[in-house]
Amino acid sequence: MGSLFGRAAVLILLLTLAWLHFTAKISFITADLGRHIRNGELFVKLHQILATNLYSYTHPDFPTICHHWGAGAMFYFLMQWGGFMALSVFYAAILMATFVLSMAISRRTAGFWPTVLAAVVALPLVGYRVEIRPEGFTTLFLVFEFLLLNEWRQRRLSSRWLWVIPAVQVIWINVHILFFTGFVLGTFFVIEVFINEEDRNRWKELSFVGVMALLLSLINPSGLQGLLEPLNIFRVYGYKLAENQNVFFMMKRFENHTIYIYFLVLFAVSIVLLVLRIFKERQWKSALLDVLILGFFGLMGVKAIRAFSMFGFFFIPLAATQLVHVIRLYGGSWQKYGQRGVVVIASVFVILAAISPYFFLSPLRRPQLLLQGEEEKYRKSLFSTAFHPAVWGGLMLDAEGSAAFFKNQGLKGPIFNNYDIGGYLIYYLFPQERPFVDNRPEAYPTEFFGKVYAPMQEDENVWGQMDRKYGFQVIYFYRHDQTTWGQPFLIRRIDDPAWAPVFVDNYTIMLVKRGGVNQKIVEKFELPRSIFGVSKN
């Protein structure tokens, strides 16, 4: 349905929308990216892969497994070649490639317009995790393996193509810890083939490939321990990771963030379409694979919001396929109207997302697209934004300011910093200065967060003990810390005569101990108490 020109126009608009959903200014202050780049530098220059905490002065020898060292090396090379903009474009291209592959799978099974409809409604989910991180490789490899396995299952690819999967898994285990999802996906295909095909050699062949992929995954710096590390991925850390929280917790914590209810709506839509299909067909075997995949990744998204984008990429081909089945099974003489309805709704959604910055599916309303100052004029123009890379790529405005101040003024630690800013300090100050903590809860003992880090910000007696133990000279904080203890701690330090605020910007605040090694900085840059206030927001 629809003219070739109409399809081409809708597709171009959809891909433009997707590109802007996948782009964002780099929030370098709170991102893990700085640490990943440093990991890459250590590997390239010193041929060293982290096996301990290393970066923090509090627990430098605490053992930890670095699954993402390979991603760090890639990020480092890109940074050397083209700076932060190259990283922005590269990561958006990874997500874009994943999106295109997902649509290609869907197009083969569901057709053009159901694919467009599923793809446009999935945009907020697939664009949810756009911070540059190794996780992007997981979504790409997942969808790529799904394409290979699906084409093989449909007998459009020969069995020799399956041997690409072990090669992918060897790379995958060295770039991101969620490599295990590839084995889960492969297992689902083995189950489906075992139940639905009479040729027993097929499932045995696929199982053998899976076993070889598992064995080859031992090719990682930590060997068997590295292969088994995903068993601990959802263990209880001393510090609550937002990305590992369940969707209901996040809905309660951030009531104004509609993405959580939106995920649940799309998950529910998937379930309803599957149930309708199975109920009408009167047998479940043909829908088994779809049930397993959507069920697993949907429940994974419920369990941990970090899985939203993985679910979104699978939602495109699988929801589109269920929609086609439901229209065919229930449409009767109205089937053609159902098909036309899909065309109309898909077209309207794409056009509205392209022309209205207030429409939910528009990338221009995303909080990740942080337009600043003179860039605000692009807020209402999709194509102006798309053709101005400085708007959607590179570092956020003035992100390097506090690090430049620290280094230019020759400030000396030890530093007490909050969790969020650890990766930033590692990038700019290591090895001359090391952070107190960084955003790797797995790299610290559980009791460190529960008995030291949080209590010293909540209890002045504990703070005094830790100050005497470590001899802090600088407090360096991401000042929008959303923990229950972060803001009260900062307020007390501002009022503490032992500490002098010397720097503040949109992202950070820096205080220096009076009478310490940085006293000259206090005398030169101390900020008046009157410029600080307490907001209820």
Helix, strand, coil percentages, rounded to 5, for the chain: 65, 5, 30
In a domain, residue 338? The reply is: yes
Residue 388 has pLDDT above 80, yes or no: no
Do both 305 and 410 map to the same domain? Answer: no
The one-character DSSP state at 527 is P
Average pLDDT over residues 160-178: 95
CA 334 to chain centre: 42
What distance in Å separates the CA atoms of residue 476 and residue 522, rounded to the nearest whole number?
A: 14
User: What is the per-residue DSSP string for 264-292?
Assistant: HHHHHHHHHHHHHHHHHHT-SGGGHHHHH
- For residues 513 and 500, give the distance between their C-alpha atoms in angstroms, rounded to a whole number: 6
Residue 338: pLDDT band with limits 50, 70, 90? confident
In this structure, which long-range contacts are made by residues 513-518, counting pairs with CB atoms below 8 Å and at least 24 apart in sequence?
A: 513/472, 513/473, 513/474, 516/473, 517/412, 517/473, 518/411, 518/412, 518/473, 518/474
Domain count across the chain: 2
Q: Is residue 491 left, alpha or beta, with left meaning phi > 0 and alpha meaning psi from -120 to 50?
A: alpha
Residue 49 inside a domain? The answer is: no
Q: Which residues does 407 contact at the CB level (< 8 Å), separation at least 6?
A: 428, 429
Written as one string, the DSSP assignment of 21-53 is: HT---B-TTT-SHHHHHHHHHHHHHH-----B-
Environment class of 437 (CB within 10 Å of its CB; exposed 0-12, middle 13-18, buried 19+): buried
Q: Is 68 part of a structural domain of the chain? A: no
The mean of the pLDDT values for the chain is: 90
What confidence score (pLDDT) does residue 4 get? 84
Does residue 354 share a domain with residue 415? no
In this predicted structure, the answer to whether residue 317 has a pLDDT above a threshold of 60 is yes
pLDDT at residue 522, rounded to an integer = 93
Residue 10 pLDDT > 80: yes
Are 300 and 356 in the same domain? Answer: yes
Residues 212 and 324 occupy one common structural domain: yes
| Domain end residue (candidates: 365, 388, 414) | 365
* Per-residue confidence (pLDDT) for residue 489, from 0 to 100: 93
The answer, yes or no, to whether residue 383 has pLDDT greater than 90, is: no
Same-domain check for residues 318 and 420: no
Side by side, the strands of the sheet bearing 415-417 are: 415-417, 474-478, 508-513, 499-504
**252 exposed, middle or buried (CB, 10 Å; 0-12, 13-18, 19+)?**
exposed
For range 13-34, the mean pLDDT = 91
Distance CA 486, CA 464 (A): 16
The per-residue pLDDT for 359 is 85
Hey, is 59 helix, strand or coil? coil
16: in domain:
yes
The secondary structure element, H or E, covering residue 476 is strand 474-478
| Cβ neighbour number for residue 349 with a 10 Å cutoff | 22
**340 and 468 share a domain?**
no
CA dihedral angle for residue 425, residue 431, residue 432, residue 434, rounded to 10 degrees: 50
Q: Ramachandran region of residue 223, left (φ > 0), alpha (ψ -120 to 50) or beta?
A: left
Distance CA 71, CA 52 (A): 18
Quick one: how many helices (H) and strands (E) in the chain? Answer: 23, 4
Can you give the pLDDT at residue 371? 47
Q: Amino acid identity, residue 324?
A: V
Q: What is the pLDDT of residue 116?
A: 96
3-class SS at 240? coil
pLDDT at residue 508, rounded to an integer:
94
Pair (105, 244) in one structural domain: yes
pLDDT mean over 139-150: 97
Percent pLDDT > 70 in the chain is 94
* pLDDT mean over 439-464: 91
CATH code at position 407? 3.40.50
Kindly report whether the peptide bond that precedes residue 124 is cis, defined as omega within 30 degrees of 0.
Answer: no
User: Which comes out higher in pLDDT, residue 334 or 429?
Assistant: 429
Is 93 part of any domain? yes
Same domain, 361 and 407: no
Among 26-30, 64-68, 181-185, 229-233, name the one with the lowest average pLDDT.
229-233
Assign 466 to helix, strand or coil. helix
d(CA 33, CA 53): 16
Q: For residues 415-424, give the mean pLDDT.
A: 94
Looking at the structure, tell me whether residues 131 and 188 fall in a common domain.
Answer: yes
**Confidence band of 397 (pLDDT split at 50, 70, 90):** confident
Same domain, 417 and 498: yes
- Burial (0-12, 13-18, 19+ Cβ within 10 Å), 100: middle
Say if 516 falls within a structural domain.
yes
Query: From CA 247, how far away is CA 251, in angstroms rounded?
Result: 6
* 230 and 138 in a common domain: yes
In the block, tokens 């209402």 appear at 380
DSSP element (H, E) containing 474: strand 474-478
- Which of 365, 393, 409 is a domain's end point? 365
Q: How many residues does the chain have?
A: 537
pLDDT bracket for residue 376 (50, 70, 90):
low
- By CB atoms closer than 10 A (0-12, 13-18, 19+), residue 532 is middle
Would you put residue 373 in left (φ > 0), alpha (ψ -120 to 50) or beta?
A: left
Of 141, 71, 159, 160, nearest to 101 (Cα)? 141
Place of tokens 């850390």: 237
pLDDT exceeds 70 at position 215: yes
The sign of the dihedral angle between the CA atoms of 111, 269, 293, 241 is positive
Least confident of 123-132, 193-202, 303-312, 500-509: 193-202
In the chain the first and final C-alpha atoms are separated, in Å, by 51
Q: Give the mean model confidence (pLDDT) for residues 425-448.
A: 92
Q: What is the pLDDT of residue 481?
A: 87
**What is the domain range of residue 186?**
4-26+83-365
Among residues 118, 109, 116, 171, the alpha carbon closest in space to that of 140 is found at 171
Least confident of 44-58, 241-255, 275-289, 364-378: 364-378
Over residues 258-266, mean pLDDT: 92
Torsion of the alpha carbons at 57, 61, 64 and 65, rounded to the nearest 10: 110
Report the pLDDT value the prediction gives residue 229, as an integer from 0 to 100. Answer: 87
Inter-CA distances, 505 with 49, 140, 400, 476, 533, Å: 35, 37, 10, 12, 14
What's the rounded mean pLDDT across residues 493-513?
93
Q: Looking up tokens 């081909």, which residue turns up?
A: 317
Share of the chain above pLDDT 90, in %: 69
State which of 339, 365, 391 marks the end of a domain.
Answer: 365
164-172 and 135-153 helices cross at what angle (nearest 10)? 170
Amino acid symbol at 234: F
In a domain, 265, yes or no: yes
Return the minimum-mean-pLDDT range out of 222-231, 387-396, 404-413, 460-469.
387-396
Residue 378 falls inside a structural domain: no
Same domain for 164 and 283, yes or no, is yes
